[in-house]
Amino acid sequence: MNYEESKTILYVSHLKKYFELAGLLRKSKNFVKAVDDVTFEVKEGETLGIVGETGCGKTTLGRAILNLIEPTEGEVYIDVPEEDLKEIKSLEKKIETLNNSENGEIDRQELSHLRSDLNHLKKKYSLTRISNRNLKEYRKIMQPVFQDPFSSLDPRKLIKNSIAEPMKLLTDMTTEQITDKALSLIMEIGLSEDHLYRFPHEFSGGQRQRIVIARAISIEPKLLVLDEPTSALDVSVQAQILNILKELQKSRNMTYIFISHHLSVIRMMSDRVGVMYLGKLVELAETEALFTDMLHPYTKALMSAIPIPEPNIKRERIVL
């Protein structure tokens, strides 16, 4: 993939999510920095893997991008026109340069104009600043797939109705069109028409996750945020789900953010990989470059934990 020429589908800028720690009679506030000043972009048609140990902030990052939780600071831009996105990045860089001026002299008038221009673009495009009514439009572009397929489906609804729900809420499709689309989707993910008229408890975990994926793509989103989509499944089923995701990406030119702690899955699925540690994105590189030439000490420690399939060989563990 040519990253320079590809369109940027998602741009995350200085995103933060802090959780306040509750305490008795504590005057000073303490915070857990779940996501701490994270910036990256995702190109159209690529898979960006986000990896890290439990508690590193990767799931919180995914939920903040989806605006399922409100970020403390920062911006999330989705499918912004290229010229406007270039202007946003240019303004950010100019403001940062002025703020970090070595001689200590800041042209406050120029800084004020730059901030005003940037705030105008933020209000127009950033998901963290738009109204709930406008946010509904962005739901058509970006959809989640969560870890647990058992809690992702309403046990009281037929599968047909679960798949149809996003189409009813976010599109102007007729009932007939929705029914036809649900049938097409259920067959695309390897199930049959008969499965539309069953309830979630009648399916295995792998089948449920297929249905969740079908529901997520029902409104033709450009980006899926996949949060540990295979970790709750048996190993034999994981490969089937990963293959379905790869086939869908190829046929629909979809973009994925793939969040996982499973390094081999990340390596298989991702074009680039970001490593999270204590809420920060400490390393970001193309997949093979990251796995063969780690730069950050945490990435090296993470890789050293991968078992070698040879009983007589032991990998030297790095402890931070």
Question: Does the pTM of the predicted model rise above 0.75?
Answer: yes
The domain boundary, picked from 163, 194, 221, lies at: 221
175 lies in some domain: yes
In this prediction, residues 66-81 reach a mean pLDDT of 95
67 lies in some domain: no
Range name among 69-83, 199-213, 214-228, 292-306 with the lowest pLDDT average: 292-306
118 lies in some domain: yes
In this prediction, residues 193-211 reach a mean pLDDT of 96
The domain boundary, picked from 221, 241, 270, lies at: 221
39 lies in some domain: no
- For residue 100, what pLDDT is reported? 82
Binned at pLDDT 50, 70 and 90, residue 304 comes out as confident
43 pLDDT higher than 90: yes
156 plus 208 within the same structural domain: yes
Residue numbers of the domain that contains 198? 151-221
Binned at pLDDT 50, 70 and 90, residue 101 comes out as confident
**HEC secondary structure over the chain:** CCCCCCCEEEEEEEEEEEEEECCCCCCCCEEEEEEEEEEEEEECCCEEEEECCCCCCHHHHHHHHCCCCCCCEEEEEECCCHHHHHHHHHHHHHHHHHHCCCCCCCCHHHHHHHHHHHHHHHHHHECCCCCHHHHHHHHCCEEEECCCHHHHCCCCCCHHHHHHHHHHHHCCCCHHHHHHHHHHHHHHCCCCHHHHHCCHHHCCHHHHHHHHHHHHCCCCCCEEEEECCCCCCCHHHHHHHHHHHHHHHHHHCCEEEEEECCHHHHHHHCCEEEEEECCEEEEEEEHHHHHHCCCCHHHHHHHHCCCCCCCCCCCCCCCC
Name the more confident of 246 and 133: 246
- pLDDT tens track for 144-172: 999 998 999 999 999 999 999 999 999 99
34 lies in some domain: no
The domain boundary, picked from 140, 170, 187, lies at: 140
231 lies in some domain: no
If one counts the domains in the chain, the total is: 2
